[in-house]
Amino acid sequence: MYNMSFAPFIGINRHGQSIMLGCGFVRQELASSYDWLFDAFLEAMDGLAPDNIITDQDVAMEQSIKRKFPATIHRCCRWHIIKKAQEKLGPVLARNPDLVKDFNECIDFSFTPAEFERKWVALQLKYEGLMHGHFEKLYEDRATWVPCYFKFRFFPFLQSTQCSKGFNAVLKRYVNPHKSILNFVKQYEKIQVHILVREGGNDYRTEHLEAQRWPCFPIERHAYKAYTRDIYVKFRTEFQMIGQYDVRPAGINFYYLEPNTEEVLGYGSRKYLVTVRPEPAIYDCECCK
């Protein structure tokens, strides 16, 4: 009823579940408004800024984050960037399905900025005359959204603000936008209680209920003890995929992890070079893990 924008802070708990860290209202989407919002957030968090933050491509918000959270790694929402790219480049992409495949390969399977740069140059050479316009804007902003630029940070299961969008959808079921702020706070607290109850249920499942395991490799037993049940299930799904790769020697202390099928779901047909240092028993994969 006051025509103010709602700004939620959404986080991830140890179950991989979205949680509400707080929220605010801003009169205008200006850098000064975000300065106030982030100052209030820092006050509520005893001065503790987030390690990482994902937002839409809002210039005013970006400026404010740099001022108020100087040590925070800021990442732009990939979903919004790709959606905008599809709108701008729709006709070009529709006429060139191979370009879509190669573009996705460049974005999703570049493990370092240097590799991304090489693949982007190859794209420009292969599709000369097409890689202009909005493609140039995507390249210009590459360090804010392309995954390989964030390999050194922990973004659990996230590349977009979809958790925030999902929360907004839930909120709209509870709140009438024409009601007062007092009414909003009451409804917001109801949602918070609902989330905490669900979190408590997940805690109970972790502490008291058994989950079905796959084999009994030591690494899986360790994961079962170390992770919550929801995260363990995610780990188990990934771990089961080891059967789709073979190890091939590639010289002294070098090995390739190669798919034994044409393509591995979610990982494509790429093979991975692993460097082994036997004495300290250290294994380095080119995937940066």
Tell me the whole-structure pTM to 2 decimals: 0.81
Across all residues in the chain, what is the average pLDDT? 89
Dihedral through CA 186, CA 55, CA 104, CA 287, nearest 10? -100
- In tens, the pLDDT along 65-93 reads 999 999 999 999 988 898 899 999 988 88
Per-residue pLDDT band at 212 (split at 50, 70, 90): confident
How large is the angle between the packed helices 218-226 and 229-239, nearest 10 degrees? 160
> What domains appear along the chain, each with residue ranges and CATH number?
5-77+160-197 (3.30.420), 78-150 (no CATH), 244-285 (no CATH)
Per-residue pLDDT band at 214 (split at 50, 70, 90): confident
- In tens, the pLDDT along 114-145 reads 999 999 999 999 998 888 889 999 999 999 99
Contacts 24+ apart (CB under 8 A), 206-214: 206/15, 214/239, 214/240
- In tens, the pLDDT along 238-268 reads 898 888 999 999 999 999 999 999 888 888 8
